A = this chain, B = another copy of it.
Amino acid sequence: MPIYDAPVDDVLFLLNDVFHIERYSNLPGFADASPDIVEAILGEAGKYCREVLLPLNRVGDIEGCRHHEDGRVTTPAGFKAAYKQYAEGGWMGISATPEFGGQGLPSALTIVINEFLVSANMAFAMYPGLTQGAIAALLVHASPELRAKYLPKMVGGDWTGTMNLTEPHCGTDLGMLRTKAVPQGDGSYKMTGTKIFISAGEHDLTENIIHLVLARIDGAPAGTRGTTLFVVPKFLINADGSPGAHNNVSCGSIEEKMGIHGNSTAVLNYDGALGWVVGEENRGLPAMFTMMNEARLGVGVQGLGMSEVAYQNAAAYAKDRLQGRALTGPKFPDKPADPIIVHPDVRRTLMTIRAFNEAARALVIWTALRGDVAHRSEDAKDREAADDHMGLLTPVIKGVLTDQGFANTVMAQQIYGGHGYISEHGMEQFVRDARIAMIYEGTNGIQALDLVGRKLGRNGGRAVMAFFNEVGAFIKENGTDAMKPYVGPLGAALGQLQQATMWFAQNGLAKPDNAGAGSTDYMHMFGLVALGYMWAQIAKAAQEKLAAGASGAEARLNARLVTGRFFMERMLPETAAQLARIQSGADSTMALPAEMF
């Protein structure tokens, strides 16, 4: 069975030494997040993941969810009890507002714990993950009545949430959706239509499920400007707040799929189910995007979580499996062979994964802290800057962390040789599970287009300029000899990213295909620079801590310095190739007539 230990120490180092969480103490909820409280919470979460969720991961894969003739869906053995423990532990709402029963702690804690949950059991982690997204949307957009009705139960984990966008003929292009809502005159609407690919759409974990449904009010304008967001409970809510009569939404089937078998992917049929508008009529997309952005960050974290658990297992296997001898001569002459971690190509693989994981975790935590500034700060300027950051980095985190996270599960599987391809060790499940994250909540191609086509130019490029300035300033301020191996390569990569940005400005407006053809390369380039910036900050913090005499932690701090150098030498140079591809333009990409494909 796979192993997993939550990287609590790494998170604490990032929160305390790299990002200095104490500097955020003016934000509501942060005062309660003292280092010892945070450590205790993360330790508890790690224990729950290791002891409760991890053992259910393979069971969930083998058993999957089952759709019964009466429309019920049952989750794999053990999921219900594990979910009960999750809800009773108060995990759902640790960062949610106290107004609805949450603990109001920094959202960085939620996002870090979500990484742990994903590592231990991705299919399980999706049930709470989607609920947290739905909570965010209701909190921002729903009326006080709806909030009071749904949020306490959702924050408490009694009910889960879903997001209903996709229909058979429309995924990315939501303007084509057909699900219809007819007003009943009493504030409610009758919903009719079919939604597909609804994760956690039907299950037996909770007594109610709260669907957020994008639909078209009868007579609404065509396209995305005619869509409205609705809340549609599986069971209507009684006056006392308890679930009452069954609403007319039913699960027609669940999908057979490549992975995440423990999460039900439902076809939901709305057949006159009652729904209520969330936010304004015909303004469904902006409301949905609150949820979607939350979800996109969460999906990025899935890429990281899968990469982390795959790494931990591959590293353990590489230290254990005896095969061949080191190129520099036997390291364990008394054993029949050396452990395969002596081989440079095996190490290269492990270093590549860990150099990604540690920086990706930093990027996620940094962004979560910025998210709290965006939502909780009293300073409008700070909120604006933080909001810019979120808008810019969300597609990068979603796209890059899931592409690379998946690639890393494949690399980790490779360490096992043939033993990675058989089901027994669980490595192939990681690959199958991780694959979905590149697709849902907007395919990674859509993330790239969002970044290049929308986020770069927004407000005259304010967000991207601020990002470049921040990274550039850090490089300038840290030109010490010790920091040169980090800021030197970072400066070169930043320069290339700026060249690519300029190239789009000059060549993408008149000929948008130039921007489209380079968008995926640009997103990955941006990701490398952002991860490189994280490594430079980690290196700085590690050097300062070592200089201050970090007794007992030296080995781990030095390992960070080595891993950061590996990133700079072996991963960051990719930006040169990306720039060359971008600057080659769209001509050869677009030249063939469609019928030649």
Contacts and interface: CB of A to CB of B under 8 A. Distances in A.
B555 A584 contact: no
Interface in A549-597: 555-556, 559, 562-563, 565-566, 569-570, 573-574, 576-577, 580-581, 584, 586, 588-597
16 contacts: A170-B323, A255-B423, A265-B422, A327-B515, A345-B445, A345-B519, A346-B445, A349-B445, A350-B597, A406-B410, A414-B444, A421-B435, A421-B439, A559-B596, A566-B588, A573-B577
Copies of this polypeptide in the complex: 2
In this complex, the member of A259, A315, A418, A512 whose beta carbon has the largest number of chain B beta carbons within 10 angstroms is A418
B562 A339 contact: no
A588 to B, nearest CB: 4
Interface in A144-194: 166, 169-173, 176
A517 interface: yes
Interface of A: 166, 169-173, 176, 196-197, 255-259, 265, 315, 318-319, 322-324, 327-328, 336-337, 339, 341-351, 354, 406, 410, 413-414, 417-418, 420-424, 428, 431-432, 435-436, 438-440, 443-445, 448-449, 453, 511-513, 515-517, 519-520, 555-556, 559, 562-563, 565-566, 569-570, 573-574, 576-577, 580-581, 584, 586, 588-597
Given A176-B336, A341-B597, A562-B591, A436 B422 contact: no
A370 to B, nearest CB: 28
A345 B423 contact: no
A327 B516 contact: yes
A584 to B, nearest CB: 4
A203 B376 CA distance: 65
A428 B418 CA distance: 20
A424 B570 contact: no
Contacts of A421: 257-259, 435-436, 439
A291 B571 CA distance: 37
A328 B512 contact: yes
A417 B257 contact: no
